[in-house]
Amino acid sequence: MKRVALLVQYDGSKYSGWQKQKNAITVQEIIERALFKITHNVVKTFAAGRTDAGVHASGQVVHFDIECVIPGYSYSDVLNSLLPSTIRILESVEVKDSWHSCYSAIYRHYRYVINNSKFPNLFINNWSWHRYQKVLDEVLMSSASKRMEGEHDFFAFQKSGSNRTHSITNIKNIDIKRVEDLILIDIKATGFLYGMVRLIVGQLVLVGEKKISPEIFTDRWVNKKKNDVRESSPAKGLCFVNAVYEENVFKNINNNDFFPVFLIKGIS
């Protein structure tokens, strides 16, 4: 029996998230079907983080235990020959039995992309939120977000239906920047609550449009005013960039391969 880790990229547009569900097609189900074709046995996979319906991943980390003669580094090629084009295995490696894709992760990185152009862009429409009504003030958004760094109770940014026993997590860093008409919101945290990033982004957009002040934004999450947090950003703008571990088990991929910064050139 060996443990194999996969670095997985997927377009979540047509999937009901990562985790297997009844009467829905998910990324986990598709990968496990492919593993069954290889081994003729049921193989259970474990991911670094669950993604909801419509959410993408550029560097999801998955592991599974398997009894098979195929070497660990070959699973990427073998699986890619069986998987649809919307799911790609970037790299596969054999890891120690004690290593776990979820529990061994130090932190996870999500990115949300907002297209703040007046005009839609079909080339990025499935991977961004076209929020065009007002020019967003990304500096104000960044200022409002900084107090969230560190360990706090983010109860206000947790959707109903979570099975977590508490809503405390540690946000290592939040970075908000504009790249021409794109606003990139990068959040790195030890863990994420159910729906957390999309709720944060929804509130930050209100700040950027000056519909609420940074002080109101802070008051809502600090004082757990969940009923005031009504706006949630759409799933398609969210991407699970990668998970970070003490030792990088994937040797052939660098950070730019996960989610390269791309530009939309202005029309002169």
CA distance 165 to 250: 32
Is 52 among the catalytic positions?
A: yes
Contacts 24+ apart (CB under 8 A), 65-73: 65/1, 65/2, 65/3, 65/4, 66/1, 66/2, 66/3, 66/4, 66/35, 66/39, 66/41, 67/1, 67/2, 67/39, 67/41, 68/2, 68/38, 68/39, 70/38, 72/2, 72/4, 72/5
CA distance 103 to 97: 13
Q: With contact defined as beta carbons under 8 Å apart, do 154 and 196 qualify?
A: yes
When computed from its CA atoms, the radius of gyration of the chain, rounded to whole angstroms, is 19
Q: Which of 11, 52, 77, 153 is catalytic?
A: 52
Residue type, 7: L
CA distance 206 to 210: 6
3-state secondary structure of 175: strand
Tokens of 136: 């967003």
CA distance 160 to 196: 11
Q: Measured between alpha carbons, how far apart are the two ends of the chain, in Å?
A: 60
Angle at CA 48, nearest 5°, toward 45 and 50? 85
- Catalytic positions: 52
